[in-house]
């Protein structure tokens, strides 16, 4: 088995070029190519390539992947607070189904 010694970036997010491509895709799809609004209701943040974060609609903990049909633009504060909330809601739902 070959040793990569840190030269391979094969995590779920992909390479740095993959991440740049996703950010550009979101700016072009949801905005004008250089800016896009945060996708969270009530947020007025206008995002650029430097400030945009990629939010997975179905979180990674629930099997969501970084595919074009599962990503949307988000500002940092919304993206970082959203994932844990979705997972907690799903766990509550699964527990309630088990106890019924």
Alpha helices in the chain (DSSP H): 16-30, 76-99
Q: How many C-beta neighbours within 10 Å does residue 9 have?
A: 13
Q: Looking at residue 10, what is its pLDDT?
A: 58
Q: Which CATH number fits domain 16-94: 1.10.15, 2.10.240, 1.20.120, 1.10.30?
A: 1.10.30
- Structure token pair of residue 57: 């609609």
What does the alpha-carbon distance between residue 90 and residue 92 come to, in Å, rounded to a whole number? 5
Q: Please tell me whether the overall predicted TM-score, pTM, comes out greater than 0.85 for this model.
A: no
pLDDT tens digits, 37-95:
999 999 999 999 999 999 998 888 788 899 999 999 999 999 887 656 666 776 777 77
pLDDT tens digits, 1-18:
455 555 555 577 889 999
Q: Looking at residue 93, what is its pLDDT?
A: 73
Task: Return the domain boundaries, the chain.
Answer: 16-94
What does the alpha-carbon distance between residue 68 and residue 61 come to, in Å, rounded to a whole number? 18
Residue 39's φ and ψ, nearest 5 degrees, are -85, -5
């Amino acid at each position: 088995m070959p040793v990569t010694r840190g030269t391979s970036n094969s995590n779920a997010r992909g390479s740095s070029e993959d991440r740049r491509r996703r950010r550009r895709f979101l700016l072009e799809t949801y905005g004008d190519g250089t800016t896009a609004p945060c996708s969270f209701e009530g947020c007025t943040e206008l995002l650029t390539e430097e400030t945009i974060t990629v939010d997975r609609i179905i979180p990674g903990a629930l099997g969501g992947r970084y595919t074009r049909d599962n990503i949307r633009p988000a500002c940092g504060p919304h993206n970082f607070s959203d994932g844990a909330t979705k997972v907690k809601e799903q766990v509550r739902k699964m527990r309630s189904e088990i106890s019924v």
